[in-house]
A and B are shown apart, each in its own frame.
Chain A
Amino acid sequence: MLNYLLRRLLYMAIVLFLVSILSFYIINLPPGSWIQNYASELEASGDIVDQEELDFLNMRYGLDLPLHEQYFRWVVPLITKGDFGQSFEWGQPVWPLIEERLFLTMTISIASILFVYAVSVPIALYSAINQYSIGDYFFSFMGLIGLATPNFLIALVFMIIMLRVFGVTPGGLFSPEYLREPWSLAKFWDMLTHLPVPVIVVGTAGTASLIRILRAQLLDEFQKQYVLTARSKGLRERFLIVKYPLRMAFNPIVSSIGSLLPQIVSGSAIVSIVLGLPTTGPLLLRSLIAQDTYAAASMLLMLSVLTVLGVFLSDMLLMWLDPRIRYERAN
């Protein structure tokens, strides 16, 4: 068991190493560099381009070095000192720039996952138990609409509803007065009150697809012999459905938690732009366009870390839930 855990941790480190190389390489694939972008921007706005300044920047950020050397200039301090380097675009260290955004992205993602589960599990249970009932058809219909509607459209609809019906501007995660404040209980509470709209918007598609998956899974499990065994023991129907088929149906869902995370993170980028949320999505997009290599690579790496951790956690959860998997892994 310990052996297995150590092996998993080693694999995770290898995956992250490869991800860091790959993302660094891909970010630098487009022609030109941040300096060139910067120079042409200055030119376009009619400013005089100071070649000396450009050379200085080039030297300072090592942008004239070969790519692998640039990579090591980034990754060595990262491993040894936990230093993510400087953002060219913002002229400040990367970590403080992304720290809060990463936290907010995680908050929205985790809240969305909880929302997805809290909504879809009861609906899927209802739909499976009352298969082909009016309620089942209603939820299927709503689910397919939710699945088919792009998230940003749902975001816009929500914004209009919030504005017209409740008279609040739903953009952002904080009220204006807390925007520049340091973290406090009041600010945290303020964030919680702003959370529902983005969570619902980000979670809708996931909810719809999870209802479909879980419903099919449950219908499948209801046919299984062990359900009949449980009934023949004289157990209460409600009790046995929760204890046996629901628990079984959860396996594939738990194993997908890990992959749900990157889906939500990438899916929420557009939503974040529409709703003006301070998550990593918009910042990542901007760094990629500006070829702000260190910022973009650091964010991609951190999101990969979270994803790999998510997969690891869901695997652990699966082993805890399913003795067969535990048995298999232990040997």
Chain B
Amino acid sequence: MDDILLDVQDLKTHLPLEEGLLKAVDGISFAIRRGETIGLVGESGCGKSMAVRSIMRLAPNFAKFSGRVIYHPQAGDPVDIAQLDAHGERIREIRGGEIAMIFQEPMTSFSPLHTIGNQITEAIRVHRAQDRKEAHKIAIDLLGRVGMSNPSQRMSEHPHQLSGGMRQRAMIAMALSCEPSLLIADEPTTALDVTVQAQVLQLMRDLQVEFGMSILYITHDLGVIARMVQYVAVMYLGKIVEFTDVDSLFYQAKHPYTSALIKSIPKIGKKSRRRLESIQGAVPVPINRPPGCGFFPRCSVAIPGLCDRVEPPLVQVAPDHAAACYVYPEVAEAANAPALEGQGNGL
């Protein structure tokens, strides 16, 4: 495991809001190896975007932030990004240069007032080539590689002149412009239509091989997960509730939330007269959340008196497979909190 690129340990991002404390990210841990693709899945509002923003130190200024984000650069000593000054020199070197990001909305991710070329070369000139002409050449080359027709003309065009798919390609070109070791993709295909989505996904996979980078892929779309990633972390209410490889996720999901998610995927060939399964209830508001498992109110196998008292930790329940649910004795054992005493045989 010496080829670890990014090691996130107990990352917490709490937002003190007027309504109360919002635990957007509440102690998540995972590691990404070089060249690997990890998926972060969850419903809207589960904290996945805030988690990756925290990794880049792009969370709002007022957020309370703790934990460790150890980044292992190709050369040089590991850095704990969590310890860096959020506006400092080092984090700015890492942003864009070593960890790059693509966002959900290609419509709004570019400034409408500046040309595509201006916005791409800007990143190149910060990290790679000071020379304007050289940066321009690199940018044209990249636009060609992400499959844009007539790249040199595109350079002088403004975002509103491009289609959604083209803008997302330009966004990818911009993110890859400094050859990052990790690409964080925050729902990059959500706003695109299905055929364009397939093209962009394929493009990202090709470029991953070409550039040899790792990808942290955030999505709520399990279909994209199945296509893109090797390992999956399932997030619910700011926590990772299950972590496993992609095959186990689809065929041997351990956490009741994950199983419910998978059941809710529409399948071709299934009798169409049956209603699509959905998860009962709604995601609770994560402000001033009661103790216990976040999924408790919606869970069909919940154990009253246990699940609503103590939060289940994420524990390995099978080889290469961790889940945070008291259905598994390992989890209850690991929790072993004083609150559990006197519960008798809770399981």
Contact = CB atoms under 8 A, between A and B. Distances in A.
Our verdict on whether A and B bind, yes or no, reads: yes
Interface of A: 224-226, 228-237, 243-244, 247-248, 321-324, 327
Nearest to A229: B109
B158 A229 contact: no
Contact of A244 (B94, B96, B111): B111
Nearest to A321: B113
Contacts of B53: 228
B103 A323 contact: no
B215 interface: no
Given A234-B127, A323-B158, A324-B112, A229 B103 contact: yes
B87 interface: yes
B95 interface: yes
A234 B108 contact: no
A233 B122 CA distance: 8
A225 B103 contact: yes
A247 B123 contact: no
A327 B93 CA distance: 36
A248 B111 contact: yes
Contact of B56 (A232, A243, A323): A232
A226 B106 CA distance: 9
> Counting chain A CB atoms within 10 Å of each CB, which of B97, B122, B161 scores highest?
B122
Nearest to A247: B113
A322 B158 CA distance: 10
Interface in B74-122: 87, 92-97, 100-101, 103, 105, 108-115, 122
A224 B95 contact: no
Contacts of B50: none
B58 interface: yes
Contact of A225 (B92, B95, B109, B174): B109
B122 A232 contact: no
B122 A323 contact: no
Given A232-B56, A235-B122, A225 B96 contact: no
B34 interface: no
Contact of B96 (A224, A234, A237, A322): A234
A228 B113 contact: no
A234 B101 CA distance: 11
A232 B171 CA distance: 12
11 contacts: A225-B105, A226-B111, A232-B58, A233-B100, A234-B93, A234-B127, A235-B96, A247-B113, A248-B113, A322-B112, A322-B113
Given A235-B122, A235-B126, A323 B112 contact: yes
Interface of B: 53, 56, 58, 87, 92-97, 100-101, 103, 105, 108-115, 122-123, 126-127, 158, 160-161, 171, 174
B111 A234 contact: no
> Counting chain B CB atoms within 10 Å of each CB, which of A229, A232, A237, A327 scores highest?
A232
Nearest to B127: A234
B52 to A, nearest CB: 10
Given A244-B111, A247-B113, A231 B158 contact: no
B215 to A, nearest CB: 15
A327 B158 contact: yes
Nearest to A224: B108
Contact of A228 (B58, B94, B100, B122): B58
A234 B92 contact: yes
A233 B113 contact: no
Contacts of B126: 233-235
A234 B171 CA distance: 15
> Counting chain B CB atoms within 10 Å of each CB, which of A233, A237, A244, A324 scores highest?
A233
Contacts of A236: 92
B113 A323 contact: yes
Contacts of B101: 229, 232
A56 to B, nearest CB: 64
B158 A234 contact: no
Contacts of A228: 53, 58, 103, 109
A263 to B, nearest CB: 27
Contacts of A327: 158, 160-161
Given A226-B108, A226-B112, 5 more contacts: A225-B109, A229-B103, A232-B96, A234-B92, A235-B126
A321 B111 CA distance: 13
> Counting chain A CB atoms within 10 Å of each CB, which of B87, B93, B100, B113 scores highest?
B113
Contact of B123 (A224, A226, A233, A237): A233
Contacts of B56: 232
Contacts of B127: 234
A322 B159 CA distance: 12
A248 B111 CA distance: 9
B109 A226 contact: yes
B123 A234 contact: yes
A186 B161 CA distance: 54
A4 B111 CA distance: 26
A129 to B, nearest CB: 10
A244 B56 CA distance: 20
A231 B95 contact: yes
Contacts of A237: 87
Nearest to B87: A237
Contacts of B109: 225-226, 228-229
A233 B109 CA distance: 12
A247 B118 CA distance: 15
A124 to B, nearest CB: 19
